[in-house]
């Protein structure tokens, strides 16, 4: 039953893009309105991504009606993005201009005829009505339901100012509030654009070859298995596999790698990457909604709906803070006059306190920072799947690394060949020819080395091939029986291995290399050392992390000797060897008990349990594996660790900026409230304090766009 319900809700859930949100409060109001629409069972608004998810049936017209209070424009999620008019031309800002002109004219008339004259009063009243019309409608509705949000407070303050004859100040407050909202809308749009720009990376059409025809087709109509033709200088519209041609592709949009990557037949390629030089024919492997780029966009947008811990604190605080401000304002307006103060003066002070109390800057302090940081990370090839993970990464004190495939390339390679009699290439050819029949994981490294050296293995006939379990193989070539295997095999064959050779074997083993020997029953002909190659960036990354004060630990299933050699080479603080997957999991649990905040970096497949148990699971190479994208909290899209220090720096900066924002938003309110004591607080100082705080908090958050590697 539950499975059926899940599929039903998925089937009925539809996403729409929303244009025109000015604040988080408006998003919450819109969500409530949509939930009340006939045919809608449930709705959820993602303010960061500017989207609404609706379960049930409705129309775009009905949704726009629900958002009419904010003049919201709705479009289908898949619909092309409409270019917005320049900020200063937008319809919602026109009323601000008219209202401002009326205010200035009324001010001059006041100077001419005196403040109490009917002409400036009419001008101020018109300015208040034009600039604050939509604000009053929502404010009065909220007041009737005893819902005290920002617009309710502003409505009470402006109507109150008019009632006590402060028409000019009431009009000034309306205009400053409208400007504040417009600036907030502008800055949120700017933060969102860093994510919306991801949607424009891949072309909407592609040249497809079907039968003998080539045609331009919209991506929605391209099918899996179609052949896509990509000319030099063009971007790929779909994910696929190269079936013809070779070229270099700039994958920066997906993986953040600035260096182009060579692509040959059978290599995987991604939508949104740029073909630099060759003509490619690519077999499409995924539909447009399943491409890696689509997944990135979806995950980044979802990440914004997940609130950061500081956002939860702010929301909880604002819930109690706003009613408390209303109570303080009422007390300020009533108590002093009852004790003999001037009613008009103290009501005015109470109204100013209401304006100061607007939680605008406080509410916007966290989401703008989170949206900006996640957008910046996505453009640099790092997927952070939510505000909570962004904050966790900033608190990290220790990072555990899987060795194989993370600190190392995960592909064994021949590092040394030592020969005793005979030519190196001749002996390597014999070893590779024998190893062709072997299942040993290190055999492929020897065969690859022979291919790189251009050796022809087909000229050698291998006879009487036989595997010696756990020790090696033997075979006959040119009527000579050769053995390829571990030092143990040759100790059995020859008794003790000669001293100088044994010394060389031990020396290479101490360096973390696996040594294989080629020989006959009588003598050793060559030693071949094979090792998992270190990634070029590993050592530098570990240095940077240690410099950031983070403890680094390497976890591996390898033996202690190999692990120690690689650990020393890479520079980690600690090494744990001989670990099974469950041992890694237990280690992460112990590590968390010691350090609280611990990250695990792995490839997202065999490390899934450890990734899940850590505070932050970081997966490498997310562009190639769906598992990495699904299991990790943070995915490094390229197979490159160098993005890790950048991610931690960005997260730490985000936490710092969020703290600055919250502190500043509260401090400016407190200072303004203290002005009540000497009676210095005026309505326009109050709105300037609120508007200034909102603007500074937003601009401060946008500094996160500048964080670079």
* CA-wise closest residue to 185 among 91, 249, 276: 91
Q: What percentage of the chain reaches a pLDDT higher than 90?
A: 20
Nearest to 631 by CA among 665, 606, 657, 658: 606
Which residues 6+ apart lie within 8 Å of 201 measured at CB? 235, 253, 271, 272, 293
Q: Does pLDDT of 139 surpass 60?
A: yes
Write the DSSP string, 453-471: TT---TTSPEEEEEEETTT
Runs of H (alpha helix) within 617-642: 626-631
Angle between helices 367-379 and 292-305 (to 10 degrees): 160
Q: Where in the sequence of the chain do the CATH 3.40.1110.10 domains occur?
A: 410-534
Among residues 149, 189, 239, 402, the one annotated as catalytic is 402
Smallest Cα–Cα separation from 519: which of 497, 542, 536, 503?
497
Calpha distance 31→40 (Å, rounded): 11
On whether the 2-83 domain is CATH 3.40.630.10, my answer is no
pLDDT at 9 > cutoff 50: no
Q: What is the pLDDT of residue 144?
A: 82
Residue with tokens 């790189």: 452
The pLDDT confidence band at residue 666, using thresholds 50, 70 and 90, is confident
**What residue has token string 């649990």?**
589
- Picking from 84-88, 107-111, 166-170, 705-709, which range would have the lowest pLDDT averaged per residue? 84-88
Quote the pLDDT of residue 5: 36
Which fold would CATH assign to domain 205-288?
2.70.150
pLDDT at 8 > cutoff 50:
no
User: pLDDT of 164-201, one tens digit each?
Assistant: 888 887 888 788 777 777 766 776 666 666 666 666 77
Q: Render the burial of 395-422: b for 16+ CB within 10 Å, e for the rest.
A: ebebbbbbbbbbbbbbebbbbebbbbee
Query: Could you say which architecture CATH assigns to the domain 410-534?
Result: 3-Layer(aba) Sandwich (3.40)
Residue for token pair 């924002």: 661
Q: What pLDDT shows up at residue 108?
A: 87
200 Cβ contact partners less than 8 Å away, ≥ 6 residues apart? 81
Q: Look at residue 208 and tell me whether its pLDDT is greater than 90.
A: yes
The single residue listed with the structure tokens 């800055």 is 187
pLDDT digits (tens, 9 = 90+) for 592-631: 888 888 999 987 556 777 887 888 989 887 665 666 567 6
Min mean pLDDT across 120-129, 337-346, 648-657 is at: 337-346
Three-state SS at 242:
strand
Choose between 355 and 235: higher pLDDT. 235
Judge whether 57 and 8 are in contact, CB under 8 Å. no
Identify whether the C-beta of residue 534 lies closer than 8 Å to the C-beta of residue 569.
yes
- pLDDT, tens digit, for every residue of 376-417? 888 888 888 888 889 999 999 999 998 877 888 877 889 899
Q: Are 414 and 441 in contact (CB under 8 A)?
A: no
Confidence band for 4, pLDDT divided at 50, 70 and 90: very low
Mean pLDDT along residues 285-313 = 76
Res. 245: pLDDT tops 70: yes
- What pLDDT score does 681 carry? 80
**Mean pLDDT, the chain, whole residue set:** 83
pLDDT at 2: 37
**Which span out of 220-224, 348-352, 577-581 was modeled with the highest average pLDDT?**
220-224
Q: Where in the chain is the domain with CATH 2.70.150.10?
A: 205-288
HSE-up (13 A, CA, CB side) for residue 681 = 28
493 vs 487: CA distance, rounded Å: 10
Is 603 considered catalytic here? no
Region of residue 689 (phi > 0: left; psi between -120 and 50: alpha; otherwise: beta): alpha
Cα separation, 31 vs 26, whole angstroms: 9
Q: What are phi and psi of 213, to 5 degrees?
A: -110, 145
């Amino acid at each position: 039953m539950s499975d059926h319900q899940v599929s039903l809700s998925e089937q009925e859930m539809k996403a729409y893009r929303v244009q025109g949100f000015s604040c988080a409060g408006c998003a919450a109001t819109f969500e409530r309105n949509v939930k009340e629409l006939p045919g809608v069972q449930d709705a959820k608004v993602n303010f960061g991504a500017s989207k609404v998810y609706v379960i049930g049936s409705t129309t775009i017209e009905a949704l726009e009606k629900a958002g009419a209070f904010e003049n919201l424009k709705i479009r289908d999620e898949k619909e092309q993005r409409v270019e917005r008019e320049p900020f200063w031309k937008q319809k919602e800002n026109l009323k601000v201009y008219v209202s401002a002109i009326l205010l200035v004219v009324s001010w001059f008339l006041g100077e001419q005829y005196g403040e109490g004259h009917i002409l400036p009063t009419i001008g101020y009243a018109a300015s208040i009505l034009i600039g604050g019309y939509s604000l009053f409608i929502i404010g009065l509705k909220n007041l009737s339901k005893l819902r005290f949000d920002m617009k309710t407070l502003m409505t009470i303050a402006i109507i109150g100012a008019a009632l006590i004859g402060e028409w000019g100040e009431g009009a000034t407050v309306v205009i400053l509030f409208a400007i504040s909202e417009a600036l907030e809308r502008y800055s949120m749009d700017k933060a969102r654009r860093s994510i919306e720009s991801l949607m424009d990376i891949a072309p909407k059409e592609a040249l497809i070859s079907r039968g003998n025809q080539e045609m331009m087709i919209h991506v929605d109509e391209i099918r899996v298995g179609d052949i896509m033709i990509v000319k030099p200088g063009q971007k790929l519209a779909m994910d696929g596999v190269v079936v013809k041609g070779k070229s270099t592709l700039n994958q920066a949009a997906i993986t953040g790698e600035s260096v182009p990557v060579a692509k040959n037949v059978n290599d995987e390629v991604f939508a949104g990457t740029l073909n630099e030089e060759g003509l490619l024919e690519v077999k499409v492997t995924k539909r447009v909604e399943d491409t890696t780029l689509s997944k990135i966009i979806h995950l980044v947008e979802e990440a914004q709906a997940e609130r950061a811990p500081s956002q939860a604190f702010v929301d909880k605080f604002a819930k109690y803070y706003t009613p408390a401000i209303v109570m303080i304002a009422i007390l300020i307006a009533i108590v002093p006059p009852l004790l003999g103060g001037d009613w008009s003066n103290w009501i005015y002070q109470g109204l100013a306190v209401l304006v100061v109390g607007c939680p605008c800057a406080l509410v916007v302090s966290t989401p703008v920072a989170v949206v900006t940081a996640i957008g910046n990370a996505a453009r640099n090839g790092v997927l952070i799947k939510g505000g909570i993970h962004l904050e966790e990464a900033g608190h990290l004190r220790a990072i555990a690394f899987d060795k194989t495939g993370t600190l190392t390339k995960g592909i064994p390679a021949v590092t040394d060949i030592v020969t005793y009699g005979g030519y190196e290439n001749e002996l390597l050819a014999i070893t590779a020819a024998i190893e062709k029949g072997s299942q040993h994981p290190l055999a492929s490294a020897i065969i690859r080395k022979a291919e790189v050296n251009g050796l022809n293995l087909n000229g050698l006939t291998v006879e009487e091939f036989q595997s010696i379990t756990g020790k090696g193989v033997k075979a006959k070539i040119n009527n000579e029986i050769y053995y390829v295997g571990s030092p143990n095999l040759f100790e059995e064959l020859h008794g003790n291995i000669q001293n100088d050779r044994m010394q060389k074997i031990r020396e290479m083993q101490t360096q973390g290399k696996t040594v294989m020997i080629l020989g006959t029953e009588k003598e050793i002909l060559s030693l071949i050392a094979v090792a998992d190659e270190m990634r070029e960036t590993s050592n530098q990354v570990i240095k940077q992390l240690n410099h950031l004060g983070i403890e680094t630990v390497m976890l591996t299933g390898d033996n202690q000797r190999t692990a120690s050699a690689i650990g020393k080479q890479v520079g980690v603080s600690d090494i744990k060897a001989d670990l099974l997957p469950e041992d890694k999991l237990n280690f992460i649990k112990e590590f968390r008990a010691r350090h609280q905040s611990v990250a695990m970096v792995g490839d997202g497949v065999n490390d899934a349990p450890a990734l899940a148990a850590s505070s932050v699971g970081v997966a490498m190479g997310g562009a190639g594996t769906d598992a990495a994208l699904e299991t990790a909290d943070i995915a490094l899209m390229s197979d490159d660790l160098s993005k890790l220090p950048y991610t931690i720096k960005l997260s730490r900066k985000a936490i710092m900026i969020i703290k600055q924002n919250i502190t500043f938003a509260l401090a400016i309110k407190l200072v303004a409230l203290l002005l009540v004591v000497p009676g210095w607080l005026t309505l326009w100082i109050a709105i300037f304090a609120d508007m200034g705080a909102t603007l500074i908090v937003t601009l401060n958050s946008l500094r996160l766009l500048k964080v670079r590697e």
